[in-house]
């Protein structure tokens, strides 16, 4: 199976990033969200991202125009019916994802593949709420999608070889480097990364060092391009908390206990860059 058109649920950070990656690769995409304003904001974000590439002379005006022409914004799920693959990129909330997946499953043709961009929720469990578990897969992109080369392709227990191969080929066509992983909470990258971020917040809450010094230590001592606290703000502290809560629930191991400071920041609405204030102020 060759994926020639992609549908995306969600025009937020991940959704519009995936849309841009598809469009730049010449693959038509339909990006759906609940309101016209959300869709317009998503397309404007893509346009701004392409403008930055244009300024750096990495693309031309013609390239930008061609990419934007490949993106169709919509508030109607019916517009996804022509897609060969629909990627769910909604908020990291299991109940919401299940609701969306059931709606998609009921309206899409039986041979359409559904993928979830979840960063922590079980692909096997999500697949089980559909009637096409063999054509369900995890496709975990990383933020910012246009810049990050990695895509984790997560096989649920039921995922077929044909589905895996089609999605793997698409990821390669997008210019990404896919890695295939088994289904488990957090998969591979976030299983390692988010507990590290959580530990950095414990270090901060214990007053061992300032945020700047913690991040400088990890950048200079471990050759990381961005410190864990700045990265937490980029990811979203609410997302980090949600992931840690999934780990604690699924593994039942206290080492995955979310840092109280992380919970406090989220409760205060300090979610990171998207709210202008997280560990750092923006």
Using one digit for the tens of pLDDT, what is the confidence trace for 99-156?
A: 999 999 999 999 999 999 998 889 999 999 999 999 999 999 998 999 999 999 999 9
pLDDT for res 143: 86
Q: Is 190 marked active-site?
A: yes
113 Cβ partners below 8 Å, 6+ apart? 1, 3, 84, 85, 86, 132, 135, 136, 137, 163, 166, 167
Between CA 176 and CA 167 the distance in angstroms is 12
Say which residue the tokens 């995955």 belong to: 256
Q: Is 120 marked active-site?
A: no
Between CA 225 and CA 222 the distance in angstroms is 9
Pick the catalytic residue: 92, 152, 183, 198?
152
pTM for the model stands at 0.88
Between CA 200 and CA 228 the distance in angstroms is 7
Pick the catalytic residue: 119, 120, 122, 198?
119
Q: Is 277 marked active-site?
A: no
Using one digit for the tens of pLDDT, what is the confidence trace for 59-80?
A: 999 999 999 999 999 999 999 9
Q: What ranges make up the beta strands (E) of the chain?
A: 6-9, 29-32, 71-74, 85-88, 113-116, 136-141, 150-155, 177-182
Question: Of 245, 136, 138, nearest to 195 (Cα)?
Answer: 245
Counted residue by residue, the chain has a size of 282
pLDDT for res 97: 96
Low-confidence ranges of the chain (pLDDT < 70): none
What is the percent of the chain where pLDDT is above 90? 94
Q: Is 119 marked active-site?
A: yes
Say which residue the tokens 């700047």 belong to: 212
Pick the catalytic residue: 88, 92, 122, 140?
140
pLDDT for res 92: 83
């Amino acid at each position: 199976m060759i994926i020639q058109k992609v549908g995306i649920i969600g025009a937020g950070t991940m959704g519009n990033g995936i849309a841009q990656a598809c469009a730049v690769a010449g693959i038509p995409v339909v990006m759906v969200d609940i309101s016209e304003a959300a869709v317009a904001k998503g397309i404007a974000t893509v346009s701004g991202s392409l403008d930055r590439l244009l300024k750096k002379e990495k693309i031309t005006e013609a390239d930008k125009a061609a990419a934007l022409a490949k993106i169709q914004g919509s508030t109607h799920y019916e517009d996804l019916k022509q897609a060969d693959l629909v990627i769910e990129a909604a908020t990291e909330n299991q109940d919401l994802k299940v609701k969306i997946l059931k709606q998609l499953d009921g309206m899409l043709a039986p041979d359409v593949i559904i993928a979830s961009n979840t960063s922590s929720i079980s692909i096997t469990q999500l697949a089980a709420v559909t009637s096409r578990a063999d054509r369900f897969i995890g496709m975990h992109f990383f933020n910012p999608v246009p810049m990050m080369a990695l895509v984790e392709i997560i096989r649920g227990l039921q995922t077929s070889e044909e589905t895996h191969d089609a999605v793997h080929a698409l990821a390669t066509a997008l210019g990404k480097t896919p890695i295939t992983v088994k289904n488990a909470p957090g998969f591979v990258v976030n299983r390692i990364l988010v507990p590290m971020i959580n530990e950095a917040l414990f270090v901060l809450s214990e007053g061992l060092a300032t945020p700047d010094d913690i991040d400088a230590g990890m950048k200079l001592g471990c050759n990381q391009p961005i410190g864990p606290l700045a990265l937490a703000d980029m990811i979203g502290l609410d997302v980090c908390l949600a992931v840690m809560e999934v780990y604690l629930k699924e593994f039942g191991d206290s080492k995955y206990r979310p840092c109280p400071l992380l919970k406090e920041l989220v409760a205060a609405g300090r979610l990171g860059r998207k709210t202008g204030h997280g560990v750092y102020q923006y």
